[in-house]
Each structure stands twice: as structure tokens, then as C-alpha cells.
Structure 1
Amino acid sequence: MGRRHWHVIEEEDGALTMTRNMPVRFDLAVETILSGVTGRRRLAHLVRQDMWRALQSLRGFAPAVRVRRDARSMHVRAGGAVLGRFDRSGYEALIAQVLEDETNRARWMGGVR
């Protein structure tokens, strides 16, 4: 699989999961809810990119993002698989910083380009 290829899984509950590796694993994960509704695939892609930038030094990291939409919001689970030992709480804190950054959130939901 090339660098641009990702597995995109449409789940029965209406969620979409984007991952590099199959099966999907969330050895570390952080969840958030974003107000408003946007495209699940676009949102998953943008979150994955920003999370990768923050965690690219984590050896053996394979990002995964799950997005589920309801009537008024987007539920995001970001994290992924990690080969080997790692500081779970430290890296989950980095993911949380990415997910809670107001500039990121506005861009992901289409407010800032």
C-alpha cells in the first residue's frame, strides 16, 4: 500500500474509521465532540494529519481516526496502534492538545482555511 492509501471503513452505526493498518487498533485514544456537522471522511483526514504531525516521533505509531455524526455534532476518536512500549498518558495528552486546539477545531469544521 502506498503512502497515500488508507483503509476507510464504513461501520453499521454510521461511523467512518480511517486507518493505515488492519485490523483497526486503538492502543491509545482520545475522544472529543465537535459542534456542527461536516463530512466524516474530510474530518477524519484532517484530524489524522494533525495528530500525525504531533506524534510523528512516536516510533511504531500507526494513526487511526473514527468519526460518528449525530444530528448536531461530530464524535471523534483519535489515536491508533503503537508497536512497542510508550508513555500512554503522555501521548494521549498530546492527542488531547491537538483535539482541543480551537484553531484546529475551527479549520476541521470549515470555519478557517
Structure 2
Amino acid sequence: MGRDRWHVIEEEGALTLARRVPVRFDLAVETVLPGVTGRRRLAHLVRQDLWRALQSLRGYAPVVQVTRRADVMQVRAGGAVAGRFDRAKCEALIAVVLEDADNRARWMRRA
């Protein structure tokens, strides 16, 4: 796997995008997005913004899981962290990324 490659795992109706396997969620936050059709594209867009917010977290490997539920997409974003970290602070940063109105509008336009 090259540096620009990501593992894409599709199982049980969910698409999981991860840097490392086995997939591990040491921290995670969930949200729901209406009107999105492209799971893979959505996962990559969320992952990019997630990485921008948490790239200074040592040992961080992002994971995004997208599941289609009727007419909405359920998104679980977080990942694995090698080492100590403040879970509450990191999950709050992820929540800010996931609930940002500009991010959500961009994801819905592009996915």
C-alpha cells in the first residue's frame, strides 16, 4: 500500500475508510447527513477535514464509517491513536468538524 492508499472495507451495509487495518475506533463521534448518495466520496471528504483538525495528534490514524439508513447517511468518524490522548478534547474537535454547517453543505454538494 502506497502513502496515498486507503483501505476501503464494505460489509453489512457500511463502508469503512481506514488508514490501517484492523480498524480501531479509540475515539469516535457520529452524525447523520440527509440527501447524500456517494458513500465513498463522503467518507473521503469527512476524512480530509478530520485529518486537518487532528493531524497534530501524535499516532493518529483516521477512520470514517458511512452507513446508508433509508434516505440518510449515518457517519461515524474518529480513528485509532497510538499513545496517550485526551479523549474528551479530541471527540469535541471531531464533533465541531462534523457539525460545522459549511463542512456539511460542502460534503452534501460533492458526495
Aligned length: 110
- 1:51-66 equivalences under 5 Å are 51-66=50-65
2:66 counterpart of 1:71: no
Identity of aligned residues (%): 76
Per the alignment, residue 7 of structure 1 pairs with 7
Q: Does 1:91 align with 2:90?
A: yes
CA RMSD of aligned residues (A): 0.9
Distance in 1 between residues matched to 2:96 and 2:11, nearest whole Å: 27
Residue by residue over 1:42-76, the C-alpha shift from the partner in whole angstroms, topping out at 9 and shown as x without a partner, is 00000000000000000000000000012211100
Deviation (angstroms), 1:35 = 1.3
SS in 2 for 1:95: helix
Using the TM superposition, name which of 31-40 and 97-106 deviates more.
31-40
Task: State the shift of 1:4 in Å.
Answer: 1.0
CA-CA distance at 1:23 after TM superposition: 0.2
Task: Give the CA deviation at 1:37.
Answer: 2.4
Q: Distance in 1 between matches of 2:58 and 2:48?
A: 16
Q: Could you list the per-position Cα deviations for residues 14-55 of structure 1 after superposition, in whole angstroms to 9, with x for gaps in the alignment?
A: 110000000000000000001112200000000000000000
| Structure 1 runs, 4 residues or longer, greater than 2 Å off | none
Unaligned runs of 5+ in 2: none
Structure 2: distance between partners of 1:98 and 1:42: 17
For 1:2, give the aligned amino acid: G
TM-score computed with the length of structure 1 as normaliser: 0.94
TM-score under structure 2 normalisation?
Answer: 0.96
